[in-house]
A and B are shown apart, each in its own frame.
Chain A
Amino acid sequence: GAVVSQHPSRVICKSGTSVKIECRSLDFQATTMFWYRQFPKKSLMLMATSNEGSKATYEQGVEKDKFLINHASLTLSTLTVTSAHPEDSSFYICSARDRAAQPQHFGDGTRLSIL
């Protein structure tokens, strides 16, 4: 149980393109989803917290107009990297949990490469 699916697993695109990443909880309803960014050989950095039906809460330093998050249902959250540039290249990972004080379950990440 507690499977989180993330799609696509890899994206390579030109600078200026907007990229959408989907995160789905397959066998549970995720009241909260989280989006992280991870650089090579580094830890996960929380970007934003997304609650179903409400606006996402962004961490300090994360541009909300750059990283658009939508959590329209209890099983789907999307992250859109708008007008992506090479510095946005990274490994983006989502997680979901069904209720508080329960472990977050992670997707397998999206490797984003902006040329």
Chain B
Amino acid sequence: GESVGLHLPTLSVQEGDNSIINCAYSNSASDYFIWYKQESGKGPQFIIDIRSNMDKRQGQRVTVLLNKTVKHLSLQIAATQPGDSAVYFCAENIEGGKLIFGQGTELSVKP
């Protein structure tokens, strides 16, 4: 079946360090991927997206890398700040515009 998963359920980093959150997907036909950030008690917040015709996309302090060969997605956060502490989900856009979410990685930033 289709699934999107994350390698690390929890990640603890020091403030100022870079963070890397990984995600594996299984549907090779997927052509659009999104990273969301979810803070406690809130809905997911869009961070960055990438289409399958690209292998890298950069935003403000964030970079998403897509490796279609191994069906792997990663989110890099530069100079991680306490405000970055949250659960991060990758999501895979499938037929019908539905999103399949990964299990999530909880990022904890130590001051």
Query: Which residues of A are at the interface with B, using a C-beta cutoff of 8 A?
Result: 2, 4, 6, 32, 34, 42-44, 46, 49, 57, 93, 95, 97, 100-101, 103-109, 111
Contacts and interface: CB of A to CB of B under 8 A. Distances in A.
Nearest to A101: B32
Interface in B44-83: 44-46, 49, 51
B97 A101 contact: yes
Nearest to A97: B97
B79 to A, nearest CB: 24
A57 B51 CA distance: 26
Nearest to B49: A103
Most chain B beta-carbon contacts within 10 A, residue among A97, A103, A104 = A103
A106 B44 contact: yes
Nearest 7 CB-CB pairs, A to B?
A: A106-B43, A43-B101, A108-B43, A44-B101, A106-B44, A109-B43, A103-B46
Nearest to A57: B96
A43 B104 contact: yes
Interface residues of B, number: 23
Question: What's the dominant secondary structure at chain A's contact region?
Answer: strand
B98 A44 contact: no
Contacts of A101: 31-32, 51, 93, 97
Contacts of A2: 46
A6 to B, nearest CB: 7
B94 to A, nearest CB: 10
Most chain A beta-carbon contacts within 10 A, residue among B31, B45, B96, B98 = B98
Contacts of B98: 34, 46, 49
B41 A109 contact: yes
Contacts of A95: 43-44, 99
Contacts of A111: 41
Contacts of A106: 36, 43-46
A18 to B, nearest CB: 23
A82 B60 CA distance: 43
Contacts of B96: 49, 57
Given A101-B93, A103-B49, A46 B99 contact: yes
